[in-house]
């Protein structure tokens, strides 16, 4: 079964929330009113200290969901790519 890497550049994120609307299972926005930073978060992702990006390895179903989020991100902060 194919695996995919979802990367997220939180520094680019403007908190529009389109990703969370497109894929509420994997994405949410840390709301200011709840003490958050107003930016998106990918559930289960970890920060790669070498790249400065949040990363998560997912299966095909997870990739399809995150591709929807990738397509609507206004600042292109989300990337989904197949892992060899």
As a whole number of angstroms, the distance between CA 71 and CA 55 comes to 17
4-55 residue pLDDT tens = 999 999 999 999 999 999 999 999 998 887 788 999 999 999 999 999 999 9
Q: How far apart are CA 62 and CA 83, in angstroms?
A: 13
Query: Architecture of 3-83 per CATH?
Result: 2-Layer Sandwich (3.30)
Q: CA quadruple 64, 82, 70, 27: dihedral positive or negative? A: positive
User: pTM for the complete prediction?
Assistant: 0.92
Q: Would you kindly state where each structural domain of the chain is located, as residue ranges?
A: 3-83
* Cβ(68)–Cβ(22) below 8 Å: yes
pLDDT digits (tens, 9 = 90+) for 38-47: 999 999 999 9
Residue 61 has what pLDDT? 96
């Amino acid at each position: 079964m194919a695996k995919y890497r979802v990367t997220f550049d939180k520094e680019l994120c403007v908190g529009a929330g389109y990703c969370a609307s497109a894929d509420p299972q994997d994405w949410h926005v840390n709301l200011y009113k709840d003490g958050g930073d107003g930016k998106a978060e990918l559930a289960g992702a970890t920060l790669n200290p070498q790249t400065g990006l949040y990363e998560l390895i997912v299966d095909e179903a997870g990739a399809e969901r995150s591709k929807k989020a990738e397509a609507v991100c206004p600042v292109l902060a989300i990337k989904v790519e197949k892992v060899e």
